[in-house]
Structure 1
Amino acid sequence: MTVVRRGDGPWRLGPRARRWFDAVLATTLVLGSSVMISIGVAALLLSLAQTIPLYLRRVRPATTFTLVAAASVAQAVLGQEPIWGQLAFPVALYSLARYGRPLQGWLGLGTGLAGAATASIVWTRSFNTDVPLEYRGDLEWTSYLPMFLTIGAIVIAAWALGTQSRVRVAYEATLLERGQQLAAEAEQRALMAATDERSRIAREMHDVVAHGLSVVIVQADGARYAAAQDPQVAVDTLGTVAEAGRDALGEMRRLLGLLRGTTDPGLAPQPGLGDLPDLLAAEVETGRVVVHLPDPAPKVSSGVGLTVFRLVQEALTNVRKHAGATATTTVRLRATSGFLEVEVVDDGHGAASGEGSGLGLLGMRERVEVHDGTLVVGPEPGGGWAVRARIPQ
């Protein structure tokens, strides 16, 4: 017998185990009916008629309940006292409420209560046949009420358990479907964010590459005119041309790896390291940001400068969203051993709110990795949140 667990929900029987459980339950009640032979063949047949339909209780709940209820009516008509097969009725009613439609469950409840009232009358009279007629009325009433309440409580309990189980399973199915829908929506948003970021990078590449090619063209024209009078000037200029060309080619190779489709390049110049003071000026004046920038700024390619600028910009956006109004942020830029190290650390409550887990992190990571750099984002040991990047110059 197998038991399965779906997610973090309750333990449940697997399909094979459910079939075994139904078979064992029905067989136990059917075999138990054999004790009725001691009180008559009619009692045995009625008991079997009530218990045998339970083999179909899960796949045909309405049919099962109808057959069990019909056998119970026959028992009342024949005036039989309580028999073993009576145990099948609450099982059939539970199955109807659990696996049938809601309206069928309500009809089953009404049938069960009506049967409880009828059975209580029949059994009360059969139990009091030896009582003198003048005392029988009062005795039947005092015996009838407890019997009806007991049978009625069993009927209501079976219906309520089946209904509650059906509602719970339907609720869990709704939650599961909603969870799958939210996961699909989150994945779609992530893909859209990545696409938007790549389109933005494509627009930025226009300025990075255009700048390098402009330098190549200007220097090449100058070398051509200078070559006639001073060959050495031409040689130096061609060296500058080669360096600018290699830088532009390297930026193209890095950025083209992220592009998808065509873009509409913007014409405005893209920011770099020299624009960081302007980006941070307003925050520095309020005292919320402490800045440590090298002076003069390190000499890096346009692509690296743009990546650092966007990284700091996105990190500060996350601080404003998640760290809290009183948080203080430290922005540090260092150039060491051929690498540019960027650090944005705040002392707010970003670690508790999941700062840095938004879609903007996708863009930061892609920008850094396209330059063969590394990005580490996470909570600080003493509280707060940190964004650290290391990019080759």
Structure 2
Amino acid sequence: MTTLAHRQPWRLGPRGERWFDATLATALLLPALAIPFTDAGWAGFGLAVAQLVPLFWRRHHAVLAYAVVATASAAQAVLLDTPLWSQVAFPVAVYSVARFASTGRGLAALGVGLCGAVVAAIRWVLGFGGDLEADPVVAYTTTIATIVVSAWALGALARTRRAYVDALVERSEQIRRDAEQQVALAAADERARIAREMHDVVAHGLSTIVVQADGARYAAPQDPTVAADALATISATGREALVEMRRMLGLLRSEDPTGTRPQPGLADLAGLVAGDHVAATLPSPASGVPDGVALTTYRVVQEALTNVRRHAGPDAHARVEVAVGDAVTVLVEDDGRGASAPADGRGLGLLGMRERVTAHGGTLEAGPRPGGGWRVAARMPL
């Protein structure tokens, strides 16, 4: 995913920043080497060094560097009455405070700079042998103050822009993290859905095969034809399970969300409840039930009948009632062993049924039936 962090404006790295500051301070310091040969003499050279050298650390110690530069500039106003080349360090220091320090410290540096502009203007007018009149003082003060204010404004603007870009980068990173979290949640939901489908298909088919195989094994010595019928049922059930498994794999491989075949629904309930020990009352397949609710109805009946075959006992009878009104109601109950049955596998199936029904705003109840057996009741509003 492309983020603002990959498109943000070009920036110097930490090493580049150090080289830039060293180059700037050195470039400003080199012309100061000629100051001892001017009227300012060695005193002027010392002041120039004190003003320019702190610029090497202006980025990471902006306030301290500014304090040294301002002190040296104040000393210049006392010791010399003419300007020095090194005074260019003052607006650079003001910019650095406005750029790298807090807003309050930047405003304090600006205030000191404006006061210094007045003092420097007076010293320059007197140093150049002029009379202390308003016009030259105002002219010098305006020029110096404009430079100081410009340096402060550029620094404050750069700091504000940096904070804005950092906020955008942080926001884009948060959006990326949220998107990744949503993808992970969607993947987890999809895995849970596939697990429910696999459980419903495999558990139903295998439980039928196991029941028929056990019956055939016990009945074969007395009546081989029963074993033949059981083997036929096993074969049909196995084929049906393979067909459903292939359909599910087709759904996973297909880019078409409808898959290779329609999902089972109300029209498929008749084949699901076929059997000598199941009494069923089913609605019309053309009842206008949404596909998702119809699939959930099918899976609830399928899982409930699977549990009947696995836990209720060989002689248990089941009753299935599915009705469609302002809601789809499902009732599956048996007269088998009920709560005394082994719990292996039942918990996962019930959890899957409850998740499916809850996803459609419905409710599901499962538990022992009065008078014996087990009862599963679900209701999904339309």
Q: TM-score, normalised by structure 2?
A: 0.58
Pairing 1:67–2:68 present: yes
Aligned in 2, Cα 1:154/1:231: closer, same or farther, shift over 3 Å? same
Distance 1:68 1:51 in 2: 7
Distance in 2, Cα, partners of 1:6 & 1:224: 69
Indicate the residue corresponding to 2:88 in structure 1.
Answer: 87
For the residues of structure 2 that align with 1:201 and 1:160, how far apart are their CA atoms?
Answer: 61
Alignment match of 2:151 (pick from 155, 158, 163): 158
Corresponding residue for residue 26 of structure 2? 27
Which residue type is aligned with residue 114 of structure 2?
L
C-alpha change, 1:8 and 1:127, in structure 2 (3 Å) is same
SS at match of 1:13: coil
CA deviations over 1:12-68 (Å, ceiling 9, x no partner): 222222211111111111111123222231222222221111111112111110111
Matches within 5 A, 1:1-393: 7-37=6-36, 38-41=38-41, 42-129=43-130, 136=131, 140-213=133-206, 215-216=208-209, 219-220=212-213, 231=224, 234-235=227-228, 237-245=230-238, 248=241, 272=264
Aligned length: 261
Q: Distance in 2 between matches of 1:279 and 1:84?
A: 94
Q: Distance in 2 between matches of 1:18 and 1:49?
A: 22
Between the aligned partners of 2:87 and 2:285, the Cα distance in structure 1 is 86
Q: CA 1:104–1:238 in 2, change beyond 3 Å: closer, same or farther?
A: same
1:49 to 1:226, Cα distance in 2 relative to 1, 3 A = closer
Distance in 1 (CA, whole Å) between partners of 2:235 and 2:6 is 60
1:97 and 1:279 map into 2 onto residues whose CA distance is: 75
Change (3 A) 1:222 1:6: closer
How far did 1:252 drift? Answer: 7.8
SS in 2 for 1:12: coil
Query: Which range is displaced more, 223-232 or 14-23?
Result: 223-232
Contact 2:94–2:106 at 8 Å: present in 1 too?
yes
Query: Which runs of 5 or more residues in structure 2 are unaligned?
Result: 250-261, 269-283, 291-297, 303-382
Separation in structure 1 between the aligned mates of residue 237 and residue 145 of structure 2, nearest angstrom: 92
For the aligned residues, what is the CA RMSD?
A: 3.8
Structure of greater Rg: 2
Counterpart contact for 2:125–2:137, Cα < 8 Å: yes
- 1:87 is aligned with what amino acid? V
CA separation of 1:280 and 1:145: change in aligned 2, threshold 3 A: farther
**Counterpart amino acid of 1:12?**
R
Retained in 2: the 8 A contact 1:116–1:148?
A: yes
Q: What is the alpha-carbon distance in structure 2 between the residues aligned to residue 124 and residue 193 of structure 1?
A: 76
Letter in 2 for 1:9: Q
